[in-house]
């Protein structure tokens, strides 16, 4: 098999499945030129007639300008806003947004591969990280599941909320006006939690089988969490749910520490979520794309502990969760420069919605152009 042409890019073709490939399943079909490639060979599938080139399988498929993804990620994960990144890279905001969306899809593919290799040898912790996008009239919860020992981020979900807390009379009238069009459904958090726990439960069943799992899920006392678990058949018999008051001291002794630690990292490193500033997300889909890129950074690219790093221990959260370092490197090398295909990944519906850029505020538009090729 040619690693540059791993399969037919048409999901309806038999040769989309690598196991069905035969020698000479494609043939050369002329050459093509683009703004970043000159005289590149083009190929045609013998089965379905789909034409493609080497860049069809690249993370830069269909782009008109190449960028340094590592510089974009470094800016994103160190608190830089979009205009800050524009200044030090020289690229427009639209180009940067597009590349973050491409990075997010690559990050989802990396996460899918890692989840397939993990043994889930630890308890889980779940909580919601509250933020907002567009304006503070549209708050949201980013629902997080992390490892109790590794602090590996297993899942990220999104749910819209209604604005709460003290408001001026003017703000109350404005909220009433906005909610005449649409408002967040009261069950959104329950649905989001159910989606991510269903997928994790399926992964656990595949890895641990029917034996006694001896696994615990720690959460705070949010009323929607047990309601979501009740909707998952067999969940209560396999995983013990322990609810802990969110008012307890948030230190290492608190079982909720892994998600509290993740909350702090988000506030510190992502400009979308820095408190009381002019920086905030203007589109929920773009916000979740950037959050997914940060999930990759947190899990796979940064040392788990700074003091350990100073002692030359650069192990990551993914390695702490049980992934071998060589396997992690292999996944990153294979995924970060290639174009992933959605139909080849095993991901939860929340992550798929991030992939399809389907998040939006109540009554609002998606806010981002969704290219057709990402659905393959």
The pLDDT assigned to 304 comes to 87
CA distance 18 to 39: 27
Lowest mean pLDDT among 90-94, 109-113, 275-279: 275-279
Lowest mean pLDDT among 1-10, 109-118, 171-180, 350-359: 1-10
Give residue for tokens 């992964």: 203
8 Å CB contact between 229 and 254: no
Residue-wise pLDDT for 300-312, tens only, equals 999 988 777 677 7
For 359: left if phi > 0, alpha if psi spans -120 to 50, otherwise beta; the answer is beta
Mean pLDDT over 276-295 rounds to 91
- % of the chain at pLDDT higher than 70: 99
8 Å CB contact between 318 and 149: no
Q: 184, 100, 235: which is closest to 361 by C-alpha? A: 184
Lowest mean pLDDT among 141-145, 237-241, 292-296, 363-367: 363-367
Cα three-residue angle 14-18-22, rounded to 5 degrees: 70
Instruction: For CA atoms 282, 219, 123, 236, give the dihedral sign.
Output: negative
CB count within 10 Å of CB 361 equals: 22
Query: Burial level of 297, CB count in 10 A (0-12/13-18/19+)?
Result: buried
Token representation of residue 358? 């389907």
The pLDDT assigned to 320 comes to 95
Mean pLDDT over 105-133 rounds to 96
């Amino acid at each position: 098999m040619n690693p540059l042409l791993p399969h037919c890019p048409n999901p309806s073709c038999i040769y989309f499945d690598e196991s069905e490939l035969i020698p000479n399943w494609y043939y050369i079909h002329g050459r093509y030129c683009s703004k970043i490639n000159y005289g590149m060979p083009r190929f045609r599938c013998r089965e379905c007639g789909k034409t493609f080139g080497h860049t069809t399988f690249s993370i830069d498929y269909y782009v008109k300008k190449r960028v340094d993804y590592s510089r974009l990620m470094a800016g994103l994960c160190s608190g830089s806003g979009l205009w800050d990144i524009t200044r030090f890279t020289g690229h427009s905001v639209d180009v940067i947004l597009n590349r973050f969306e491409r990075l997010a899809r690559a990050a989802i593919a990396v996460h899918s591969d890692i989840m397939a290799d993990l043994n889930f040898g630890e308890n889980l912790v779940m909580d919601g990280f509250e933020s907002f996008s567009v304006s503070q009239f549209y708050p949201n919860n980013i629902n997080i599941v992390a490892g109790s020992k590794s602090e590996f981020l297993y899942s990220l979900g999104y749910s819209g909320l209604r604005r709460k807390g003290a408001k001026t009379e003017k703000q109350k009238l404005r909220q009433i006006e906005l909610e005449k069009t649409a408002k967040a459904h009261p069950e959104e958090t329950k649905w989001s939690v159910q989606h991510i726990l269903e997928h994790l439960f399926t992964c656990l069943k595949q890895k641990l089988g029917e034996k006694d799992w001896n696994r615990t899920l720690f959460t705070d006392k949010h009323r929607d969490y047990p309601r979501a678990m009740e909707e998952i058949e067999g969940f209560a018999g396999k995983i013990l749910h322990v609810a802990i008051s969110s008012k307890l001291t948030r230190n290492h002794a608190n079982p909720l520490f892994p998600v509290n630690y993740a909350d702090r990292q988000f506030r510190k490193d992502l400009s979308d979520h820095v408190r009381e500033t002019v920086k905030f997300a203007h589109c929920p889909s773009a916000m979740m794309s950037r959050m997914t890129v940060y999930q990759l950074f947190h899990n796979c690219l940064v040392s788990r502990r700074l003091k350990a790093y100073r002692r030359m221990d650069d192990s990551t959260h993914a390695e702490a969760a049980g992934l071998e370092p060589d396997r992690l490197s292999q996944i990153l090398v294979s995924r970060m420069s290639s174009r992933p295909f959605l139909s080849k990944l095993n991901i939860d519906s929340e992550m798929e919605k991030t992939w399809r850029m389907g998040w939006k505020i109540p009554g609002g538009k998606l806010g981002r152009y969704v290219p057709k090729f990402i659905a393959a």
